Amino acid sequence: MTTATMTVTWTAICSYARLEAERGVAALVDGVQLAVFRTFSGELFAIGNRDPIAGAQVMSRGIVGTRGSAPTVASPLHKQVYDLRTGECLDVAGVAVPTYAIRRIGDTVEVAVDKR
């Protein structure tokens, strides 16, 4: 039996101060396009930048908001809403964007992309 070994590497994206609240930025980490968001409360989220319905790399340009207590982003193309915590589409069952670990170290925002 073989077990996959996961190596997590943290990559600096930008300074926390450069992230505007309720706006996204795109980042390329190890060939993976990400959308990084900071909410008004200061929370950070990283999801895949590819809109799974339209197929375009546009999620970083989405509309940030909330649905109930969930922080969300709406696709700028067809307006489907995604939970930033889980990546789950709240409008279309079975559709999701990948989520990535994100952290703040001092003023630096870092993202981890899993490698297997």
- Write the pLDDT tens digit of every residue in 54-91: 999 999 999 999 999 999 999 999 999 999 999 999 99
What is 15-115's CATH number?
2.102.10.10
Q: What is the average pLDDT across 39-56? A: 96
Element (H or E) spanning 2, and its range?
Answer: none
Answer yes or no: is pLDDT of 33 > 50: yes
CA dist., res. 104 & res. 16, Å (int):
7
SS3 108: strand
pLDDT attached to residue 116 = 46
DSSP 87: -
Q: What is the average pLDDT across 23-41? A: 96
